[in-house]
Amino acid sequence: MKKITYFLILLLLLFNFFWIYKCSIFKDKISEITESYKQEIEHIEINKNNLEKLISNCYIRNIPKHDLENIFFYNDDVVVLLVSQGQCHSCIIEILIYLEQLGNKIGSDRILILGNFINNKDFEIFENDASPFIINVSKYFNKELPKEVIDHPTIFIMNRNFEIRYLFIPELYPELSETYFFKLLPDFFKN
């Protein structure tokens, strides 16, 4: 009888140890999942913040007519890349490659680059870098642009009345770049 009791106590102890071990593994898994959710929430918060910034700071409805009259002769909608001094060089390169491939679909004459540069020398360097990808590069200086637009290369569609639509800043939403350049813009020009 005694032997059976000892055996049962031992079994109970082993069983307890097993459950403690299982619980600790479960706890680790729970904290791992919590951590991954925390990261996801953080990512969503950053995106939300970017979107708020975009809406509140970058909402430009049009470009004053007199600013562009001398360089803009199009009667139709065009895709515009607006680049300002001091922006990330490799981000601009990536957009230029996107625009060149977009130009193969919609026609490269429907793409215009505006260089927001104070001095001519910097603009000429930029023009030289951009011209293998896009031919239409013009200087356009405007210090009144929203901060986000001055900080990041910005793309939009502009119509003949200089009204802006489909504004997009790839650096804020890199995951949407392919959809924007390869689906949204070609679809817009198809219609």
Q: Which positions touch other proteins (CB under 8 A)?
A: 90, 93-95, 97-98, 100-101, 104, 131-133, 174, 177-178, 181
Which of residues 133 and 156 has its CB atom nearest to other proteins in the complex?
133
* Shortest Å, Cβ 67 to other proteins: 28
Give the position of tokens 């969503």. 44
Question: Please, what is the minimum distance in Å from the beta carbon of residue 132 to other proteins?
Answer: 4
Using the minimum distance from each CB to other proteins, give the nearer residue, 104 or 191.
104
Nearest-approach distance from CB 99 to other proteins, in angstroms = 9
CB closer to other proteins out of 5 and 90: 90
Q: How far is the CB of 94 from other proteins (least distance, A)?
A: 5
Sheet arrangement for strand 154-158: 137-139, 111-116, 78-84, 154-158, 164-168
- How do beta strands 164-168 and 137-139 pair? unpaired
**141: Cβ contacts below 8 Å, ≥ 6 apart:** 116, 117, 118
d(CA 101, CA 123): 23
Residues in CB range of 2: below 8 A, 6 or more apart: none
Contact 135, 153 (CB under 8 A): no
Q: 85 or 108: whose CB is closer to other proteins?
A: 108
In the complex, least distance from residue 134 CB atom to other proteins, rounded to whole angstroms: 10
Nearer to other proteins, 22 or 89 (CB): 89
